[in-house]
């Protein structure tokens, strides 16, 4: 289970880093169309959303009395449905500012490393009791890390779409 999860972390961040690296500094901070985030803001949203897991996993947990991956398919069905427009919770909204590409690149590498470490050191089958996503039951550590990856995959597609719009590729 840990090996497959860690491979998913590496693959997800490889894809994210590939598209992020294609943006020039100017493109990273260009609004592609009215009402959209810039690529820098989208990346910042991902970074914010991939934070706080260490604290959550060290909080209250309990033994899980169900399959530890039970909700992953439901998370995928929701977050990988690109016909659904979602609104971010306020605490995950990116600031409206110009973002530095190199700083974000380093932060992405750090988040990947953090998730790999968390997947290695924690019992993935424990259920976290301190926080839950509205509309879902409480997640296991495996489901939380998978949630971070699925959410990142959703926004990686968004970054690819933004890049195509800005470069007309």
pLDDT digits (tens, 9 = 90+) for 76-107: 999 999 999 999 999 999 999 999 999 999 99
Q: Is the pTM of this model over 0.85?
A: yes
**What's the number of CA atoms in the CB half-sphere (13 Å) around residue 54?**
10
Domain 2-167 -> CATH class: mainly alpha
Q: Where are the domains of the chain?
A: 2-167
Asked if residue 169 has pLDDT above 70, the reply is no
* Average pLDDT of the segment spanning 112-138: 96
Task: With cut-offs at 50, 70 and 90, classify the pLDDT of residue 117.
Answer: very high
Beta-bridge partner residues of 62: 127
Give 119's contacts (C-beta < 8 A, 6+ positions apart). Answer: 2, 5, 6, 9, 145
**CA of 168: how far to CAs of 32, 86, 94, 165, in Å?**
11, 25, 25, 5
Question: Is 121's pLDDT higher than 90?
Answer: yes
Instruction: Please tell me the predicted confidence (pLDDT) of residue 32.
Output: 95
Residue predicted with more confidence, 169 or 155: 155
């Amino acid at each position: 289970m840990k090996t497959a999860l860690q491979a998913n972390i590496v693959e997800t961040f490889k894809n994210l880093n590939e598209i992020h690296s294609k943006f020039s500094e100017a493109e990273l901070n260009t609004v592609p169309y009215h009402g959209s985030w810039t690529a820098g803001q989208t990346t910042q949203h991902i970074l914010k959303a991939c934070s706080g897991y260490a604290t959550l996993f060290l909080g209250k947990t309990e033994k899980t009395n169900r399959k530890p991956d039970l909700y992953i398919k439901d998370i995928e069905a929701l977050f990988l449905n690109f016909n659904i427009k979602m609104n971010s919770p306020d605490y995950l909204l990116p600031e409206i500012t110009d973002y530095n590409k190199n700083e974000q690149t380093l932060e992405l590498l750090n988040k990947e490393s953090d998730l790999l470490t968390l997947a290695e050191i924690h019992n993935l089958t424990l259920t976290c009791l301190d926080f839950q996503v509205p509309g879902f039951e409480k997640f296991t550590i495996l489901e939380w890390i998978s949630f971070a990856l699925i959410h990142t995959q959703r926004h990686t597609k968004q970054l690819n779409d933004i890049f195509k719009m800005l470069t007309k590729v």
